[in-house]
C-alpha cells in the first residue's frame, strides 16, 4: 500500500492543478487578477526569484525574526527555569505573565510603532513578545516536571545543589525548552509577517502587501508559498536540534 501512496498523491495534485489551469477559468470569469492560474504563479515565482528586492526582503524578515527570537530565548529560558525551580520566583512573576499573555502580539503592533517607529526595532520587539510566552511557559514546565520526577533520585544520590542543577534540572528541562522554542519561533514568524504588513517599509510582509496593491496576485501567491517554505525551514532546523540534543525525548523513558 504505502509505496503506491506518493505516485497517486502526485497524480492527484497534477489533476487539481490541471483543473485549476484549464477548467476554473471557464467557471470563474473575474479573470486571472483574482484567481491566479498555476502557470501565472510559476511565472511570478521565477520573476520573483530573479529580483534582488525579493532576496533582500527575505534576508530582512528572517534577520528580524531571528533577532527577536534570540532575545525571547535568552530571557525566556532563564526566567522559565527560575520559575520552575523556585516557587518564590514563580509567585513573583506569575500574575504579571498571566495578565500579559492573553494579548496576542499582533495587538501590540500599533503601540510598538508609536514607541519605536516603523522598522527594525518594533519588528524585533514584536517577535520577541510573541515568542517569549511559549518559551518561558515550557521552560518552567520542564524544570518543574524534572524536579518532580527526578528530584528525589538526585537528592538521594547525594548530589549537591549545583550538580543537581547542571546534571538533572538543565538536561531534564532541555527538551521542553526546545519545544517552547519551536512554538515560539512559529509564532514569531507569524508575527513578523503581520508586523511588516502594517509597520514596516521592508521585509516579506511589506512586499506581499505591495504586490497586492499593484494587483500582482501572482506575486502574492508566490510570496505566500515562500513564507510557508521559510516557516517549514525554521521549524525543521529546530526539530533537528531537538532530535540531536535529546534523542531520548518522547520515548518511553524512566
Residue with Cβ nearer another protein (52 or 252): 252
Residue with Cβ nearer another protein (156 or 201): 156
Q: How far is the CB of 204 from another protein (least distance, A)?
A: 9
Taking alpha carbons only, the member of 77, 78, 253 closest to residue 150 is 253
Interface pick for another protein out of 225, 237, 240, 241 (rule CB under 8 A): 225
| Residue 211 grid cell | 504586490
Say if CB 130 and CB 105 are below 8 A apart: yes
> CB burial class (10 A; 0-12, 13-18, 19+) of residue 70?
middle
Interface pick for another protein out of 228, 237, 240, 241 (rule CB under 8 A): 228
Contact flag: residue 221 with another protein (CB under 8 A) = yes
Q: Site residues for another protein, window 180-199 (CB under 8 A)?
A: 189-190, 193-194, 197-198
From the list 44-52, 55-63, 66-74, 210-218, the region that binds another protein by CB under 8 A is 210-218
Measured CA to CA, the distance from residue 38 to residue 23 in angstroms comes to 12
Interface pick for another protein out of 19, 49, 153, 241 (rule CB under 8 A): 153
Q: Site residues for another protein, window 28-87 (CB under 8 A)?
A: 33-34, 87
Q: How far is the CB of 109 from another protein (least distance, A)?
A: 6
Interface pick for another protein out of 32, 38, 63, 231 (rule CB under 8 A): 231
| Residue 97 grid cell | 505573565
Q: How far is the CB of 70 from another protein (least distance, A)?
A: 21
Spell out, one character per residue from 85 to 124, where the chain touches another protein: x when CB under 8 A holds, - when not.
Answer: --xx--xxxxxx--x--xxxxxxxxxx-xxx---------
Contact flag: residue 3 with another protein (CB under 8 A) = no
Segment (H or E) for 220: helix 217-245
CA angle 245, 68, 53 (to 5 degrees): 110
Say if CB 70 and CB 60 are below 8 A apart: no
Contact flag: residue 18 with another protein (CB under 8 A) = no
For residue 123, what are the CA distances in angstroms to 97, 180, 233? Answer: 21, 20, 20
Find the DSSP H helices in 101-200: 109-116, 120-156, 161-164, 170-199
Residue with Cβ nearer another protein (120 or 249): 249
Amino acid at each position: 500500500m504505502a509505496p503506491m501512496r506518493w505516485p497517486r498523491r502526485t497524480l492527484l495534485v497534477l489533476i487539481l492543478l490541471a483543473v485549476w489551469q484549464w477548467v476554473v477559468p471557464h467557471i470563474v470569469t473575474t479573470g486571472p487578477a483574482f484567481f491566479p492560474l498555476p502557470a501565472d504563479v510559476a511565472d511570478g515565482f521565477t520573476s520573483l526569484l530573479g529580483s534582488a528586492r525579493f532576496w533582500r526582503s527575505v534576508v530582512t524578515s528572517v534577520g528580524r525574526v531571528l533577532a527577536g527570537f534570540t532575545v525571547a530565548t535568552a530571557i525566556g529560558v532563564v526566567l522559565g527555569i527560575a520559575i520552575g525551580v523556585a516557587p518564590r520566583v514563580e509567585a513573583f512573576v506569575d500574575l504579571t505573565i498571566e495578565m500579559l499573555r492573553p494579548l496576542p502580539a499582533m495587538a501590540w503592533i500599533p503601540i510598538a510603532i508609536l514607541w519605536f517607529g516603523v522598522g527594525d526595532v518594533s519588528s524585533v520587539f514584536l517577535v520577541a513578545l510573541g515568542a517569549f510566552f511559549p518559551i518561558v511557559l515550557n521552560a518552567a514546565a520542564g524544570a518543574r516536571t524534572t524536579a518532580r520526577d527526578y528530584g528525589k533520585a538526585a537528592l538521594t544520590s547525594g548530589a549537591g545543589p549545583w550538580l543537581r542543577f547542571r546534571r538533572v534540572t538543565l538536561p531534564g528541562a532541555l527538551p521542553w525548552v526546545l519545544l517552547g522554542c519551536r512554538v515560539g519561533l512559529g509564532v514569531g514568524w507569524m508575527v513578523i509577517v503581520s508586523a511588516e504588513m502594517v509597520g514596516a517599509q521592508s521585509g516579506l510582509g511589506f512586499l506581499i502587501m505591495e504586490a497586492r496593491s499593484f494587483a500582482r496576485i501572482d506575486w502574492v501567491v508566490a510570496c505566500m508559498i515562500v513564507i510557508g517554505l521559510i516557516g517549514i525551514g525554521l521549524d525543521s532546523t529546530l526539530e533537528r536540534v531537538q532530535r540531536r540534543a535529546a534523542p531520548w525525548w518522547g520515548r518511553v523513558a524512566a
